[in-house]
Structures are given as structure tokens and as C-alpha cells.
């Protein structure tokens, strides 16, 4: 366990007792939403117990984050929530929650 994991593990434990309580490591996945590169990200689940989705972007429009149900649940394809990123803000969710990013429209 490194220092970053040591700092974030209590957050996972607090928000998601059980699945968020014991991490065996961490990894980074970076998507660069910009014209000519990644425009959006199809619905998917993450290979993680807990995901922290941090917006480091500059000025942009679009790229809303869409959430559905949990993998394995009967309603896993049903839309549950839309979140619109704000620079410097973080969304925390279980890796098995289906989610995806809408296409970026500018920025």
C-alpha cells in the first residue's frame, strides 16, 4: 500500500462499506477528451472496487457523465443519473456501476 492508497482507502470504506473497504492496489486511467482525440466514452464498468473520477479539464462543454445500474442487477442498463463535471471536482462510485461519458462538444 502506498501513500495515495493509504489516504483514499478510508473514503472508500466510509462511502461503500464492504466492496470499498479493502483495496489491493490502484491504477490510473486517463481519458483526454478533446477534438481529434477521445470525444466520449461508451457505457462500461471499471475493473476496480471503487473509482474516483476527477475532472482536470480546462474550459469545455459536453462530456456529461451518465450513470446506470450495477452490473448483475436486472436494471443495469437503466439510466439513473447525469453528472456534469466541474473542474477540480471528483465523483466517487463503485467500479461495477455502469457509466459513460457523452461526447465533448467544445474545448
Contact 97, 20 (CB under 8 A): no
Q: pLDDT (tens digit, 0 to 9) for every residue of the chain, 107 residues total?
A: 588 888 888 888 899 898 888 777 777 777 777 667 777 788 999 988 888 888 887 777 788 899 999 999 999 999 999 999 888 888 999 999 999 988 888 77
Q: The pTM is what?
A: 0.80
Element (H, E) at 41: strand 41-44
Amino acid at each position: 500500500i502506498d501513500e495515495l492508497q493509504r489516504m483514499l482507502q478510508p473514503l472508500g470504506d466510509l462511502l461503500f462499506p464492504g466492496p470499498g473497504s479493502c483495496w489491493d492496489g490502484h491504477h490510473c486511467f486517463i481519458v483526454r477528451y478533446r477534438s481529434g482525440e477521445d470525444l466520449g466514452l461508451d457505457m462500461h464498468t471499471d475493473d476496480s472496487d471503487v473509482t474516483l473520477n476527477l475532472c482536470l479539464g480546462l474550459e469545455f462543454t459536453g462530456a456529461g457523465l451518465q450513470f446506470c445500474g450495477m452490473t448483475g442487477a436486472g436494471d443495469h442498463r437503466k439510466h439513473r443519473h447525469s453528472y456534469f463535471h466541474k473542474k477540480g471536482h471528483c465523483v466517487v462510485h463503485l467500479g461495477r456501476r455502469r457509466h459513460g461519458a457523452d461526447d465533448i462538444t467544445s474545448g
